[in-house]
Amino acid sequence: MRLSVFSSQFTADAALVTALMSSLVISTQARTVASEADEASITNGTEECQVYGYQPVTDALDGFPTIWEPATIVSTDTDALNTWANISQFVPTNIQPQGTIFGVWNTTPLYDTATDPDCWWTKTECTTPKISGVPDDVATVPEPMTMGYGFDDGPNCSHNIFYDYLAEQNQKATMFFIGSNVLDWPYEAMRALDEGHEICAHTWSHHYMTGFTSEDAFAELYYSVKAIKLVLGVTVTCWRPPFGDVDDRIRAIAEALGLRTIIWQYDTFDWEQQSGNITAAQVDANYETFITRAQNGSFTDVGSIILTHELNNFTMQTAMDYYPQLKAAFKYMVPVGVALNKTQPYLETNYSLPTFEQYIGGTTTVNGSTATNSTSSSSSKSSSGASALSPISSALLVCVSGLLAALS
């Protein structure tokens, strides 16, 4: 479908959402899945992507916005309404929505990129907020020659071959999950957590966040956190904005929900291949440029994060194709949280990540009960995972606690 009257950004976004939804085959005869292990054993992508029912999700759907629709607070959801009422006072009111949720900005006044008053990443790649109480975005990792390895847009219904590959390599990554995908493919989401990958949120419906009203932006984050909590039992503490579209208004909302904003340094643009905006050869070139930079010593002081996806078979196959070269070019490839020594990735303390030192020493997973909160060794540049709460987070701890109570 061509939408030539709209900007290329809209077309790209529409194509991406279509791609995200394309695997969801509407069926009147949903199959039954007996267990996470049964689902994880399927290697036929077509079979894997046939809709199935999962009773805890079915039972909870009334408490969520419509899957894949831009989120708004469910009118009967008093917990969400109360949380928003508490959070809203901390959200800047002098920053207006930027354009639309489809990334169309030509209807709004020209943004002043020179002064960049809103620290709007999309326009300036700004990662240091100009409002107080909100930490910098994570765009690099402190460990030298280290790659913060992660994938956006999952869980993808046909990801088993890809996840099998990661398991064979004993490689963990950070998975930025879309709330709607988590409810569509709960067993795929469970596989990620159970195999030791770090889970972060990637909004409810995958639109441009700065285009939402503050209340709807809150709903996009709130319900993605809630979907992950429902299916996986953990409350995530990190998120990545779709398209990197974040400004200080959105950061403040995320921070109030206890979510650290994770961005990237290099984009492979693998996500644009399916829409035809770029070719597979260009994606290859992007990977190769990144690898060459690693080989040339660009990351000898500070490690890096690239943007890659479990969006479709192309992006996952390309990730597998380049894994050996990335592994050779970098000294370490670890989940973003591990690179940050963030040993407590979730509010629940029964899940933990290894420290960076543990991970590179071969301990790629740890049991929550044996997790250590001790600071890392003196050779590590990362900060301790037990970082101090920012002022906004401290003020709103009660809100997060309320969210937890509502979800438990």
- Shortest Å, Cβ 269 to Zn ion: 12
Q: Which of 54, 264 has the CB closer to Zn ion?
A: 264
Part of the chain binding Zn ion (CB under 5 A), chosen from 26-34, 46-54, 165-173, 237-245 = 237-245
Which residue is at the shortest CB distance from Zn ion?
A: 152
- Shortest Å, Cβ 401 to Zn ion: 29
- Shortest Å, Cβ 248 to Zn ion: 21
Q: Which of 118, 152 has the CB closer to Zn ion?
A: 152
- Shortest Å, Cβ 308 to Zn ion: 10
Active-site positions read 152, 309
- Shortest Å, Cβ 167 to Zn ion: 23
Under the binding rule (CB under 5 A), the answer on residue 242 touching Zn ion is: yes
Part of the chain binding Zn ion (CB under 5 A), chosen from 109-117, 238-246, 277-285, 365-373 = 238-246
# residues contacting Zn ion (CB under 5 A) = 3
Under the binding rule (CB under 5 A), the answer on residue 184 touching Zn ion is: no
Q: Which of 208, 332 has the CB closer to Zn ion?
A: 208
Q: What does the per-residue mask of binding to Zn ion show for 97-136, with x meaning CB under 5 A?
A: ----------------------------------------
The type of residue at 89 is Q
3-state secondary structure at position 262: strand
Q: Is 193:225 a contact under the CB 8 Å cutoff?
A: no
Q: Is 274:312 a contact under the CB 8 Å cutoff?
A: yes
Binning the chain into helix, strand and coil, the percentages to the nearest 5 are 40, 10, 45
The candidate with the shortest Cα–Cα distance to 402, out of 133, 78, 74, 65, is 78
- Shortest Å, Cβ 243 to Zn ion: 7
Q: Which of 13, 77 has the CB closer to Zn ion?
A: 13
- State the Cα–Cα distance between residues 189 and 193, nearest whole angstrom: 7
Under the binding rule (CB under 5 A), the answer on residue 216 touching Zn ion is: no
Strand partners, 152: 176, 309
Part of the chain binding Zn ion (CB under 5 A), chosen from 29-37, 93-101, 183-191, 239-247 = 239-247
Q: Which of 12, 87 has the CB closer to Zn ion?
A: 12
Helix axes 214-232, 78-87, angle to 10 degrees: 130
Measured in degrees and rounded to the nearest 5, phi and psi for residue 328 equal: -75, -35
Part of the chain binding Zn ion (CB under 5 A), chosen from 46-54, 166-174, 216-224, 236-244 = 236-244
Strand partners, 174: 150, 198
Neighbouring C-alpha atoms within 13 Å toward the C-beta of 298: 15
Q: Which of 17, 291 has the CB closer to Zn ion?
A: 17
Residues 135-154 that bind Zn ion (CB under 5 A): 152-153
Q: DSSP assignment of 193-224, as one string?
A: HHTT-EEEE--SS---GGGS-HHHHHHHHHHH
- State the Cα–Cα distance between residues 89 and 139, nearest whole angstrom: 28
Q: Which of 92, 155 has the CB closer to Zn ion?
A: 155
- Shortest Å, Cβ 140 to Zn ion: 19
The candidate with the shortest Cα–Cα distance to 91, out of 388, 396, 347, is 396
Cβ atoms within 10 Å of 119's Cβ, excluding its own: 23
Site residues for Zn ion per CB under 5 A? 152-153, 242
